[in-house]
Chain A
Amino acid sequence: LAKTTQPISMDSYEGQEVNITCSHNNIATNDYITWYQQFPSQGPRFIIQGYKTKVTNEVASLFIPADRKSSTLSLPRVSLSDTAVYYCLVGEDSSASKIIFGSGTRLSIRP
């Protein structure tokens, strides 16, 4: 089961692009990378999932290098409402394995 490592916290300003990197050196061949966002007193919310190269949706982009030992969540032009904890998870997209949340990155956006 691949363990993930993320920065504990990050600060940025409104309108900036924010990149949060997650390390997963022991990622297995069948593992996918998933990111969740969590606001205080709410459950985590799925943001994006990917296997390799780049994935983009209306909320974020996910960049995964060829060796897949890390991944970067990119949030374009953040606003105050993007202040939250962001979790990176790694696991198989199958019925076999369990998912463990890493420690998460607390992102604070300032005006």
Chain B
Amino acid sequence: DAMVIQNPRYQVTQFGKPVTLSCSQTLNHNVMYWYQQKSSQAPKLLFHYYDKDFNNEADTPDNFQSRRPNTSFCFLDIRSPGLGDAAMYLCATSRESGNQPQHFGDGTRLSIL
């Protein structure tokens, strides 16, 4: 009965090789978020979608892109991963934006070789 599903749970890619992480939701929520979480740090918001409207955080590197083809799916594309991009990537949803309770997936742990 998972509601926010992230695939894969573990992803390994090579330095500079594009990688895509995926997220799907069964909650029919309007908002989908992508966070980056490095070891022993808090999640850091990269961007979010309100429906089809994309909202990028000011300090999110251009190397990170996102797509939301429909309500249920959202993708995180890292165009040229560097060693510093190794992290856990968390997807979350909420019914509305702002301080609405967010439902998180269990993340994809990305390793860069």
Contacts and interface: CB of A to CB of B under 8 A. Distances in A.
Nearest to B109: A41
A70 to B, nearest CB: 17
B99 A89 contact: yes
Interface stretch (B11-19, B68-76, B78-86, B100-108): B100-108
Interface of B: 4, 41-45, 50, 55, 57, 88, 90-92, 96-107, 109
B98 A43 contact: no
Contacts of B88: 41
Given A100-B45, A101-B43, A104-B42, A42 B106 contact: yes
Interface of A: 31-32, 34, 36, 41-46, 49, 87, 89-104
Provide the main secondary structure of the chain A interface: loop
Task: Identify which of B88, B99, B100 gathers the most chain A CB atoms within 10 Å of its CB.
Answer: B99
Nearest to A49: B101
Nearest to B105: A43
A12 to B, nearest CB: 20
B14 to A, nearest CB: 23
B44 to A, nearest CB: 7
A101 B44 contact: yes
Contacts of A87: 42
A102 B41 CA distance: 9
Contact of B42 (A31, A42, A43, A102): A102
A103 B43 CA distance: 9
Given A46-B102, A95-B97, 16 more contacts: A31-B99, A43-B4, A43-B91, A44-B90, A44-B102, A49-B101, A87-B42, A90-B99, A97-B99, A98-B45, A98-B57, A99-B99, A101-B44, A103-B41, A103-B42, A104-B42
